[in-house]
């Protein structure tokens, strides 16, 4: 199982962590990526299949104090963050001028 932290633009967002199977994780984060944007995820996969996957994932919330790592970050309605993650890999995050964030 892998943990996904969800960030959304809601004023009351709590940035929960959810557990996903390896197969579910691979649907959301292909090719070694660990950053995803929900519109891109739905643009790659079947809406019906993803709805079923997310229904299962949302049932597996992990309290933060019990999380053993975060393996992926999923953004909702935060398209302005896309420029910072051009490779969709957290360790390769970039500033708008192309310099590394870390």
Query: Does a structural domain hold residue 97?
Result: no
- What pLDDT, on a 0 to 100 scale, did the predictor assign at position 102? 83
- What pLDDT, on a 0 to 100 scale, did the predictor assign at position 2? 98
In which domain, by residue range, is 57 found? 2-90
Helices (H), 1-102: 22-28, 38-44, 47-58
Q: What's the total number of domains in the chain?
A: 1
**Cβ-proximal residues to 96 (8 Å cutoff; 6+ apart), any chain:** 83, 84
Query: Does a structural domain hold residue 52?
Result: yes
- What pLDDT, on a 0 to 100 scale, did the predictor assign at position 81? 95
Query: Does a structural domain hold residue 101?
Result: no
Q: Give the pTM.
A: 0.94
Query: Does a structural domain hold residue 15?
Result: yes
In which residue ranges of the chain is pLDDT below 50? none
Query: Does a structural domain hold residue 71?
Result: yes
Query: Does a structural domain hold residue 62?
Result: yes
Query: Does a structural domain hold residue 95?
Result: no
Query: Does a structural domain hold residue 23?
Result: yes
């Amino acid at each position: 199982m892998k943990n996904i932290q969800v960030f959304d633009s809601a004023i009351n967002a709590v940035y929960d962590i959810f557990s996903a199977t390896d197969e579910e994780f691979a649907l959301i984060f292909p090719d070694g990526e660990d950053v995803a944007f929900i519109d891109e995820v739905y643009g790659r996969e079947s809406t019906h299949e993803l709805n079923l996957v997310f229904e299962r994932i949302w049932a597996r919330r992990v309290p933060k104090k019990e999380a053993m790592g975060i393996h992926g970050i999923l953004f909702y309605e935060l398209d302005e963050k896309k420029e910072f993650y051009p490779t969709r890999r957290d360790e390769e995050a970039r500033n708008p001028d192309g310099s590394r964030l870390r």
